[in-house]
Amino acid sequence: LPIIWQIAKGSLKNKLLILLPAALVLSEFLPAVITPLLMLGGLFLCYEGAEKVIEKLGGAKHGETLEDPIEDIATFEKERISGAIRTDFILSAEIMAIALAEVADQALVSREIILALVAVVITAAVYGVVALIVKMDDIGLHLVENRSTAFEQKLGRGLLHAMPRLLTTLSVVGTLAMLWVGGHILVDGAKKLGFKPPYEAIHAVEHAVHEATGALGGVLGWLTNSTLSGVVGLILGTIVAFAIHKVPAMLGKSAH
């Protein structure tokens, strides 16, 4: 929990002290760069999602893994916290850019208040859920060891058994979400910049599915759009991963 608290504080500082002022300046003086910046963030999400898919399919893992030996716990924790805050900065920038795009027509003061509220609420919600998840097995163990009622014992055992499955599910859902959201942002951004074929193709298929499936058309149409956006995200993310990890090696340089 102290580590999560440190990351949450870093995330809030990222949003309020760096990203909020930058977003307001851009929206006031350079609104045209918001969409390209949003697309860069989307491409990062696609890259992160594609790397996870490649690793699951047997590709090489990049960066530090949980199996690497830990020589200094304090240094290890500081490095992990710093790395998490850096990653959070990119994701926070994406969140703030999405929020800014929704309120771009508001007055400057209104934009500032709305973005500040988004920063606080999103940070509290995300890291509150993270804290709850990482303590779930402790809560379950406490119920098993310290409660006498059959219901509490059963609930505790259920939490303990559910934890590994929950983490696996979150990993899969998180990867799919990164590809879907990243791909959707890139397709939508490309349309706004004048390149419409991917957007039009995806929406044509979505419309066809919607029309062909009757009462389930809304849900299946949305799933079609999300799936195709995810495919776009996977393709583009794989290209970026290849460029980052393979091209330098092919040129005789260190990928790091």
Report phi then psi at 65, rounded to 5.
Answer: -120, 170
Percent of the chain with pLDDT over 70: 92
Convert the pLDDT of each residue in 157-177 to its tens digit. 888 888 888 888 988 998 999
Q: 167 in helix, strand or coil? A: helix
C-beta neighbour count of 94 within 10 angstroms: 21
What DSSP string describes 207-241?
A: HHHHHHSGGGHHHHHHHHHHHHHHHHHHHHHHHHH
Distance CA 52, CA 30 (A): 35
| H or E stretch covering 253 | none
**CA distances for 133 relative to 4, 127, 173, 198, 204, angstroms:** 11, 10, 15, 38, 40
pLDDT in tens, 4-40: 999 999 999 999 999 899 888 888 888 888 888 889 8
For residue 182, how many C-alpha atoms fall within 13 Å in the half-sphere facing its CB? 29
**DSSP character for 135?**
T
83 versus 120: which is more confidently predicted? Answer: 120
pLDDT tens-digit map of 52-81:
999 888 766 655 554 556 677 778 888 888
Q: Higher confidence at residue 232 or residue 244?
A: 232
pLDDT at 147 (0 to 100): 64
Q: Is 153 exposed, middle or buried (0-12, 13-18, 19+ CB in 10 A)?
A: middle
Q: Which residues contact residue 19 at a Cβ distance below 8 angstroms, ignoring those fewer than 6 apart?
A: 89, 92, 93, 96, 119
Sign of CA dihedral 193, 88, 169, 63: positive
Torsion angle (degrees, nearest 10) of CA 123, 128, 134, 138: 160
Banded model confidence at residue 148, pLDDT cuts 50, 70, 90? low
